[in-house]
Each structure stands twice: as C-alpha cells, then as structure tokens.
Amino acid sequence: MKLYNLKEHQEQVSFGQAVRQGLGRNQGLFFPSELPELGDVDALLEMDFVSRSSKILSAFIGEELAADTVEQMVKNAFQFPAPVARVKDGVYALELFHGPTLAFKDFGGRFMAQSLAAVSDSDGKITILTATSGDTGAAVAHAFHGMDNIKVVILYPKGKISPLQEKLFCTLGGNICTVAVNGTFDDCQALVKQAFDDEKLRKDIGLNSANSINISRLMAQICYYFEAVAQLPKAERDNLVVAVPSGNFGNLTAGLLAKALGLPVKRFIAATNVNDTVPRYLQSGQWEPKPTIPTISNAMDVSQPNNWPRIEELCQLKGWGLSELGYGAVTDEQAAETLREMDVEGYLCEPHGAVAYRILTEQLQEGETGMFLCTAHPAKFKEVVDDILEKDIDLPGPLAKHNAMELLSLERDNDFGQLKEVLYSVQD
C-alpha cells in the first residue's frame, strides 16, 4: 500500500510508515494513492464480519502484510459486534458501542494497536504517550492492554475527568500506566509535547502518539459500514441514506471511503451540533471556524475538524460534488427533544446519536431507507441522559465491572522530570 501526504504530494510512504508516523511532513495527512478493487460487493456482503473485514483490509494493505496476519489482527481487534437496530419504519441505528469503552473509537483504536504491533520490528521499543480528558485515553488503554511489547503511559488531569471514566481505564494495570497529574488537561498536553521534543528520550523508549489521525483507524472504520448494509433487508439496500454524527469527521471519511470501494450508499449526511463549521461551509462555501462551544454531545465539540482535507481529496478524486453531501446542525435543546422522541419510539439513545437521527429523519425522502450511527452507549453519557429522560439507566457490564475495581493510577506533579522518570521506569 502506498500513501501520499496531502500537503506535500511527493512524500510517499508505505502502510507501515504511515502507521508509525501518524502525520507526514508539515503536519500533512496521509491518503491512499490507490483504492483497491473489491470485486463483487454483493458476495462480500454475504460474508461474516471478521472474514469480510479481513478481505477489505488486506486488499487495502496489499503485499506488505500477509493475508493471514491481517486476518489475525482483525480477529484480535473486532471482538464485539456492530449490530443494526430498527428504530422505526425505514430508520435504523448502527450501534457502534459494544466494545470495551462503549464507543465507536474502539474499532479504530484496536485496529491501530494491532497495526502498530505488526509493522514495528520486534526488538524496537514502543512507548505510547498520550494526554486525555477522558474518552481517547480509555480507548487507547483498552486497545493496547495486554500487548506486552508496547508500553502505554496516559496522562490526565487529576480530579477533572468523571469518576466513571477514570475507573474505565485506570484499573487495567499490566502494560498500561495511568498518571493523574496535579494540573489541567492543557498541562498534560504540554508535558506530552515536551516529551516528543526530547530527542534522546524519544529514541530511548520509541515514543509514539497513536493519535486520532492515523490512517489505520479510518481503514478499520470502513468495515462497519459494510457490516451495516449487510444486515439490512435486501429490499432496503438500494436507496440508503446514512447520517454520521461528526466532530473531527473521521467517521464520515470512512463512510465515503466505503462508498468509493463500491458500498451502495445513495447519500451521506454530515450531522453536527452547534459547532457547525462544516455545515456552514457546505452552505456558503466559506471555511470560517468559530470558537468551540461546549455542548451535551461533547465528543463533537470541534470547530476545526482535522479529517476534512481527506474528504475534500476523496470527493475530488471520485468526481463527487460536495453539494451531494447532506448536512445539518442541531442545538442542545433540539437534541434533548429528539432523545425524548426516540425514547417514545422505544429506542434509548444518547446525544451524539440523537443529533444524527434528528437530521436524518428531517431530510429522509419517500422511498429512502435511513441509517444513523450510534457512536456511544447511552450509559457513557448517563448524567445527561438520565436528566433529559428522567430515568436511571443501567450501567452495561464492562462499565459496572471496572467501576468496582481499584484505581491503579500514579499521582505526579506537573513536572517534566517526574514524567521522564515514569517513562523510563515502565520500560522494565
């Protein structure tokens, strides 16, 4: 597999290099030079999730990794389903929250972990260092847990993430080291940056950020769009409209890549909360990010979505006009109202999914089938959901299990010397 840097097209890398580096020169995103031919998509849709996903990812990666290796990576990564639930006539939910951290990021995070292990030489050390305000830390910790040749250090601001979130990823132990820093999230990020700027440290421990723009994440996410269509009744596959609740637009990029590979999707809808840089851009042609506004769908509180250049590139390559994309933005009040409506339909959702559902059902036309992505489990946003629906929703198994476990975090000051000590000490 070859990929090029969207900012400097002459920089070409292999899959392995793209996975290890994350970003190219000048902070450019990597994009595949060629999209594979998948052949008969109907036949592909007949296969089971793991076999089909292995086939898609192996076609992408090409000769760099043996097909058996890719299949094993997929088996290790996709250990939970992506079921489709019917919400009402002609409207379906793709539930992406059945993984260990109850959000779709488990798919990409776990496949990235497998990819990184597969493309790194066995005696080279790898240390993942990341700062989190909650969600990404949990997904990274669970994705790498048990991969004993990779050490993971996660910093978070002490007392500033929800107790439930802390329990979810600070109870794992083994190769996962969590550090509660006496400081803010910005302090944690600054410490991480300082570590990456330290050339000697970086070499000594093989520092890697495993960050969210890694191409391996998007490739994994393509697979669940195929899984979604495979579960639809055949009669409803032809006029499918898919709404994607979007923040950094990785999920929508993956959906459009699935379409480019031949998945029959008539139209995608980019759904956001009031952080609506993209909907305004699609409306006016002007790219005008505003300051980020906090909302109840906080994983989408992004005003400068970092995957957008990949969408522009793909649309250009395929000759798709941006005007073919549906779009819309939803306020917190509307999202809350929609959650209540969905509850009446008998479907328990959370604010991110509700944003997509609302715009989907507003824009769905006669004869079309609608699908929206449910990106997180309702219990992950328990306080907000309980409050809006006046309920006390149950914690699902994994969350309840971790909630009962002991916290294993170290506590350190906002001090680079102390961080360095931790980074060296986890090596043995």
Return d(Cα 141, Cα 143) in angstroms, integer.
Answer: 6
Amino acid at residue number 82: A
Q: Is 245 in the site for ligand PLP (CB under 6 A)?
A: yes
* Under 8 Å between Cβ of 380 and 353: no
Q: What is the 3-state secondary structure (H, E, C) of 183-233?
A: CCHHHHHHHHHHHHHCHHHHHHHCEECCCCCCHHHHHHHHHHHHHHHHHCC
Q: Give me 46's structure tokens.
A: 């007949």
Choices 143-151, 245-253, 315-323, 388-396; region in contact with ligand PLP by CB under 6 A: 245-253
**188, 127 contact by CB (below 8 A):** no
Contacting ligand PLP (CB under 6 A), which of 16, 24, 157, 250? 250
Of the residues 134, 157, 247, 370, which one makes contact with ligand PLP according to CB under 6 A: 247
Residue 295 found at the interface with ligand PLP (CB under 6 A): no
Binding ligand PLP (rule: CB under 6 A), the pick from 105, 151, 310, 402 is 105
Site for ligand PLP in 120-159 (CB under 6 A): 135
Q: Is 300 in the site for ligand PLP (CB under 6 A)?
A: yes
**Which range of residues in 53-61, 239-247, 275-283, 311-319 is near ligand PLP by CB under 6 A?**
239-247
Question: Interface mask (CB under 6 A) for ligand PLP, residues 368-407, using x and -?
Answer: -------xx-------------------------------
Q: Which residue has the tokens 């609740």?
A: 245
Q: Can you tell me the distance from the alpha carbon of 47 to that of 64, in angstroms, rounded to the nearest whole number?
A: 24
Binding span for ligand PLP by CB under 6 A among 159-167, 227-235, 248-256, 332-340: 248-256
Site string for ligand PLP, 174-193 (x = CB under 6 A): --------------------
Nearer Cβ to ligand PLP, position 128 or 376? Answer: 376
Q: How far is the CB of 39 from ligand PLP (least distance, A)?
A: 28
Backbone angles phi, psi at 169, to 5 degrees: -125, -5
> Count of residues binding ligand PLP (CB under 6 A)?
15
**Nearest one of 369, 372, 377 to 349, comparing CA atoms:** 377
Q: Residue 3, interface with ligand PLP (CB under 6 A)?
A: no
CA distance 361 to 262: 25
Determine which residue in the list 92, 249, 308, 372 makes contact with ligand PLP, applying CB under 6 A.
249
354 scored as a contact of ligand PLP (CB under 6 A) = no
Q: Which stretch binds ligand PLP (CB under 6 A): 27-35, 192-200, 242-250, 314-322?
A: 242-250
**Residue number, 4 or 381, with CB nearest to ligand PLP:** 381
- Contacting range for ligand PLP; rule: CB under 6 A; set: 124-132, 244-252, 287-295, 359-367: 244-252
Contact with ligand PLP (CB under 6 A) among 5, 246, 275, 295? 246
From first CA to last CA, the distance across the chain in angstroms is: 35
Give the CA count within 13 Å in the CB-facing half-sphere of 141: 29
User: Could you give the dihedral angle defined by the CA atoms of residues 243, 94, 51 and 66, in that order, rounded to the nearest 10 degrees?
Assistant: 50
Q: Of 261, 257, 280, 260, give the one whose Cα is nearest residue 270.
A: 280
Taking alpha carbons only, the member of 375, 332, 383 closest to residue 352 is: 375
CB 22 within 8 A of CB 16: no
Task: Check binding of 251 to ligand PLP (CB under 6 A).
Answer: yes
If the CB atoms of residues 4 and 97 are measured against ligand PLP, the closer one turns out to be: 97
Contacts with ligand PLP by CB under 6 A lie at 103, 105, 135, 245-251, 299-300, 352, 375-376
